[in-house]
Every structure is written in structure tokens, then in C-alpha cells.
Amino acid sequence: MSSKRPCFDRLRFLPLLLVLPWLMLSCGDGWDAYRDAYNVEPGESPGEPWEGDETVFIKLGPTEIETPLEGIITSNFGGIGAVRLSDLIDASQITTNPEAFRYDFTATDGYNLLKKQGGDLAQLPNWENMQNGFLYPPVPNDLATAWQDHPWGSAISAYNVNLMNGGLIELLTP
């Protein structure tokens, strides 16, 4: 019986040896299959005017203004050029008193920050937060928000709103 044992020990690895080549071949293209979906060099150079046709709608009461990012001077956000949210509000010229509002974001897929925060206006960004918030292109032809300084702690992911190219920023009175 001891003479059969080494043979059986080798045979127990046979299924692994048969499956291993199949596993290696089925791994897919890896990163190369997704490279075009990600911007390897995102954004403009800091300090340069934004180039591109991205727009965001800015709304105050019944007034809604489509505001292009093109031409707004970019700020340095993590080494890339991004549009500061406060500069976007200023470019819209929708108000001369931006510090009087809270800012709600609605993405093109319907994600809404105010709803995510349970309708609590106090949880929305104020003007000081908007001066530390940015729009940048995480993928080509789109925009997302990001924040340099944020008071929201671990809930920051709720404030990083994607799909903002064509999205809405609404000014709300607290």
C-alpha cells in the first residue's frame, strides 16, 4: 500500500495543474482594457484657463444659468488644474451675495446631496466650503467635486459628487 501513496500524492495536484492555465488565460486585459476610461493626466495646468465644453447649471430660485467652465482660471488641486467651486459661482453672476447661501449638488444621474443628507440644509456646503471645493475631470468628458478642506469627517464620500458635467448647483437660503 505504501507503493501507491506517492502516486496518489502526485495525482491530487492534477486538477490544479489542469485549471491553472485556464485561470491565467481568463484574467482579461487588466488595466489596459480600462486605461481610456481614466484620465492619466487629468485637468488643465494650474493657473491656466479651463479648456473644454463642460458646463454646470447654477440655480437660484426660478433663475437657472448654464455656466461653462471654459475660460475660468484653474487652481492647483493635487497638482492638477481644477475649477474652484466659488469661481464657478462667481462666473455665473447669479448673485452678488454668495455667502448667504448653502449649496446643493445634483448630478446628471439624479444623485442629490440634500437628499443624501436627509434634507438638512446645515449639512450642505457653505461659501467657505465652496472656496475649498473643486470641479475636476476624473474621466474624460465628465466632472466631479472634490474638497481640499472639509468639515464632514468620514462622510466626505457623500460630498464627492460625480457626473457633474451638465449637473446642477442650487443656491438655497438656510
- pLDDT for the residue 72: 97
- pLDDT for the residue 120: 94
- pLDDT for the residue 16: 60
What dihedral angle (degrees, nearest 10) is formed by the CA atoms of 160, 165, 171, 174?
-20
- pLDDT for the residue 39: 45
Backbone phi, then psi, for 167, in 5-degree steps? -75, -175
Instruction: Give, for 168, the enclosing helix (H) or strand (E).
Output: strand 168-172
- pLDDT for the residue 149: 81
- pLDDT for the residue 40: 43
| Interatomic CA distance for residues 73 and 167, integer angstroms | 20
What is 112-136 written as a DSSP string? Answer: BHHHHTTT-GGGS--HHHHTTEEEE
- pLDDT for the residue 152: 80
Each domain of the chain, given as residue ranges in start order, spans 5-36, 55-172
- pLDDT, averaged per 10 consecutive residues of the chain (174 residues), comes to 58 64 58 50 75 96 97 92 97 97 98 95 95 92 90 83 97 95
- Per the CB < 8 A criterion, the answer to whether 76 and 87 are in contact is no
Backbone phi, then psi, for 87, in 5-degree steps? -65, -35
Stated pTM of the model: 0.74
